[in-house]
Amino acid sequence: MKNYQFLQQKYVVNTYVNRGVTFVKGEGVYLYDEAGNKYLDMMSNYGVSIFGHTDKEITQQLERQLRLITTLHGSFNNDKRSEASELLIKRAGKTYINVYWCNSGTEANEAALKFAVAATGKKKIIACDHGYHGKTLGALSVTSGEKYRKPFLPLLWQVEFIPHNNLQALEKEIDNNTAAFIVEPIQGEGGIYVPNKNYLKKVREICNRRGVILIIDEVQTGMGRTGSLLCSQKSGIEADILTMGKGLAGGIPVGATLINNKISAVIFKGLHTSTFGGNPLVCAGVMATLNKIDNQLLDYVAEMGSYFLKELKSIKSSSIFGVRGQGLMIGLDVKIDRNNLLKKLQGEKILAIPAGETVVRFLPPFIVEKKHIDETVSKLKQILT
């Protein structure tokens, strides 16, 4: 048998931690290694595989599209691209009128920043401490912390960081040069930070009053992750620019930047394009995925999320600093070595991922059941106590 771990570490650029296991198959909530051992996937590939692995309905739609046409330049029209665009716009809200298709959440944020500058002629962006929007140069410019930024300073434009969930700081930082404020409804990579209930609504009011474009990054919180299709919908507001990615196409690489008429009015031919963006294959995945997300499923996500939070909070351990999250986007903040805890969980055949410096992040697929949550909590209790 080939040593796939050796081959990957030898030939793939060394930008990822090696977690020491080779997966060759996925089915439902489980991943299988070379020896056939199954691991409970409580991270769904960083929130991408929202219906687990090899979902039958999504796979059938992708297989069908593979036999028709997989990619087509955006200067030509296509049935799947047209239908997926219409469906996403109608599901997202009332004020979004166009979607720009790309290949990842980072690319979606790159487009959002360019659109904001094009719409205002200004180049100051306000972002949040602990915020994460990607690693390409524009997205990295609005991503917080030295961890990713320091080797590449100075970055693009003028970016000022303010505390998340702090309306006074936002109000104070806005000036005549401000183009936009970019914010996650719940901060994911930064550590699963949930703001006050009325935060986004007040942010929308401030941006309206001060003439600032509001960019809401729903790459991780979107597609039902928090119990509604978009987390921002819970606040009853819509952005000027909304970004999406991760689970939008059920596992196929995708990014989307939705815009309202104010932004659409300034977009010109060639402003920002992507050869693979909105290809028919990914659009078939988008439609199959969106059509599986209904109110019954969203209620289930909320129910499972509440149960998971409750069970995690029931763990009696001095090693736990706190538990926070919403829906199936949950963080366990620990006082001990977080990475060692992740390794021990993996040793128990349960997969989770990091967030911030001290948080174990759980992003299970939406097909997770109470028995899977119980198994995870049971193993955590054994490890922590």
The domain tally of the chain equals 2
- In which band, very low, low, confident or very high, does the pLDDT at 143 lie, cut at 50, 70 and 90? very high
Assess whether pLDDT exceeds 90 at residue 200: yes
Q: Which of 259, 290, 321 is at the close of a domain? A: 290
Domain span at residue 321?
296-359+377-385
DSSP 186-248: SBTTTT-B---TTHHHHHHHHHHHHT-EEEEE-TTTTTTTTSSSSGGGGGT---SEEEE-GGG
Q: How far apart are CA 385 and CA 382, in angstroms?
A: 6
Cβ burial of 275 (10 Å; 0-12, 13-18, 19+) is exposed
Q: How far apart are CA 219 and CA 33, in angstroms?
A: 28
Q: Are 224 and 298 in contact (CB under 8 A)?
A: yes
The SS3 of residue 73 is coil
The SS3 of residue 137 is helix
Q: Is residue 34 part of a domain?
A: no
Q: Is residue 12 part of a domain?
A: no
| Residue burial 75-87, b: 16+ Cβ < 10 Å; e: rest | eeebebbeebbee
Same domain, 185 and 241: yes
Same domain, 214 and 253: yes
Q: What is the pLDDT at residue 320?
A: 96
Q: Which of 290, 306, 329 is at the close of a domain? A: 290
Q: Is residue 266 part of a domain?
A: yes
- In which band, very low, low, confident or very high, does the pLDDT at 11 lie, cut at 50, 70 and 90? very high
Q: Is residue 35 part of a domain?
A: no
Mean per-residue pLDDT, 129-155:
95
Q: What is the pLDDT at residue 318?
A: 94
Q: How far apart are CA 25 and CA 15, in angstroms?
A: 23
- In which band, very low, low, confident or very high, does the pLDDT at 1 lie, cut at 50, 70 and 90? confident
Same domain, 73 and 155: yes
Tens of pLDDT along 22-81? 999 999 999 999 999 999 999 999 999 999 999 999 999 999 999 999 999 999 999 999
Mean per-residue pLDDT, 80-99:
98
Q: How far apart are CA 177 and CA 154, in angstroms?
A: 19
Q: What is the pLDDT at residue 17?
A: 93
Tell me which amino acid residue 18 is. N
Distinct helix (H) and strand (E) counts, the chain = 14, 15
Q: Is residue 28 part of a domain?
A: no
Q: Is residue 126 part of a domain?
A: yes
Same domain, 167 and 88: yes
Same domain, 91 and 221: yes
Same domain, 177 and 306: no
Q: What is the pLDDT at residue 55?
A: 97
Mean per-residue pLDDT, 104-131:
98
- In which band, very low, low, confident or very high, does the pLDDT at 385 lie, cut at 50, 70 and 90? confident
Q: How far apart are CA 170 and CA 280, in angstroms?
A: 40
CATH number where 84 lies: 3.40.640.10
Tell me which amino acid residue 341 is. L
Q: Which of 248, 269, 290 is at the close of a domain? A: 290
Tell me which amino acid residue 248 is. L
Residue 11's alpha-carbon distances to 5, 14, 21, 44, 253, in angstroms, are: 10, 9, 17, 25, 22
Q: State the residue for tokens 């360019």.
A: 114
Tens of pLDDT along 252-261? 999 999 999 9
- In which band, very low, low, confident or very high, does the pLDDT at 8 lie, cut at 50, 70 and 90? very high
Q: Is residue 181 part of a domain?
A: yes
Tens of pLDDT along 274-291? 999 999 999 999 999 999
Same domain, 329 and 222: no
Same domain, 281 and 316: no
Q: What is the pLDDT at residue 159?
A: 97
Same domain, 384 and 253: no
Mean per-residue pLDDT, 138-157:
94
Tens of pLDDT along 293-313? 999 999 999 999 999 999 999
Same domain, 227 and 339: no
CATH number where 337 lies: 3.90.1150.10
Tens of pLDDT along 326-377? 999 999 999 999 999 999 999 999 999 999 999 999 999 999 999 999 999 9
Q: What is the pLDDT at residue 144?
A: 96
Residue 119's alpha-carbon distances to 89, 116, 264, in angstroms, are: 20, 5, 9
Same domain, 256 and 381: no
Assess whether pLDDT exceeds 90 at residue 219: yes
pTM, whole model, 2 decimals? 0.97
- In which band, very low, low, confident or very high, does the pLDDT at 381 lie, cut at 50, 70 and 90? very high
Q: Is residue 204 part of a domain?
A: yes
Same domain, 215 and 330: no
